[in-house]
Structure 1
Amino acid sequence: MNIPKDLRYTESHEWLKRETDGTYTVGITDHAQEQLGDIVFVEAPKAGRKVASGEAIGVVESVKAASDIYAPVAGEIVAANAELTGTPEKVNTDAYGAWMFRIKPDNAGDVDKLLDAAAYEKSANA
């Protein structure tokens, strides 16, 4: 299981990467894409949307199942990866390169409360 050490994670299998402008890029983990199988559809939240932490804000569908994407922290969606609309399989190819959306947290300190790589690995293997 590929779990980059420089990211933060949620128990619902989203990853977050801090960007230089204070926003966070978000996608689903390698573990999540393996569990889902061949991804055929991604619906990311629209830019400008205010979201609550833990709110279901998008969907990933595979040949096996559909799964919600959750907001890892409260904030505003500032971008969505439109490329995944036409090529959702990129998530299977590179789960950490195929980001789904970017969020500007209401409180950046909330990100520090999320799982680090070691804690996520324990959670994913539980």
Structure 2
Amino acid sequence: MSLRLLTKSFVSQRISPSLFSRFYATKKYTASHEWISVDNGVGTVGITDYAQNALGDVVYVEVPEVGTEVELDDVVGVVESVKSTSDIYSPLSGEIVEANQKVVEKSKLINESAEKDGWLFKVKFSSQEEVDNLLDEAAYTKLIEETDH
């Protein structure tokens, strides 16, 4: 089935788009330059490519401990570069279920692959509403353009 037919089927059945996003990976962004890829109730979080470019060479990364309960916008980690240090904020409330130790051991992964291999942690989130309130790609792109001007 093509994506167009699948979408038409969802629309004709009046299924909420947020319900649709709960079952398929969706990428969202924060104003503090974290990205989150949501898949089946778990969000994989990292910093955006824009953020890693602004930071420069990353030299140190601190990720949260597995099992930690976090609230929306809690500071959960740190990324330090040759230029500055930046706090990492949780884009969602929930429980940390995995932390990427590879970025702790090899911080350059963030510069090499910020939005793929350089992810920081995974959070089993507790609020779909928080997911729905995050920025989509178009809104994040607009934010970056306004920041750069």
Structure 1-normalised TM-score? 0.91
Partner of 1:118: 138
From 39, 44, 51, the equivalent of 1:25 is 44
* Larger-gyration structure (1/2): 2
Equivalence map 1:68-87=2 (5 Å): 68-87=87-106
Distance 2:27 2:125 in 1: 16
Distance 2:143 2:59 in 1: 26
The residue type equivalent to 1:106 in the other structure is S
The residue type equivalent to 1:11 in the other structure is A
From 35, 53, 59, the equivalent of 1:40 is 59
Q: State percent identity of aligned pairs.
A: 47
Q: Which has the higher contact order (CA 8 A, sep 6+)?
A: 1
From 79, 83, 88, the equivalent of 1:64 is 83
Instruction: Say whether the 8 Å CA contact 1:45–1:80 is kept in structure 2.
Output: yes
The residue type equivalent to 2:128 in the other structure is A
Instruction: Say whether the 8 Å CA contact 1:11–1:124 is kept in structure 2.
Output: no
The residue type equivalent to 1:113 in the other structure is N
RMSD: 1.0
Distance 1:55 1:22 in 2: 19
Which is richer in helix? 2
Partner of 2:32: 12
- How far does residue 109 in structure 1 lie from its aligned partner after superposition? 2.8
- How far does residue 110 in structure 1 lie from its aligned partner after superposition? 1.3
Partner of 2:121: 101
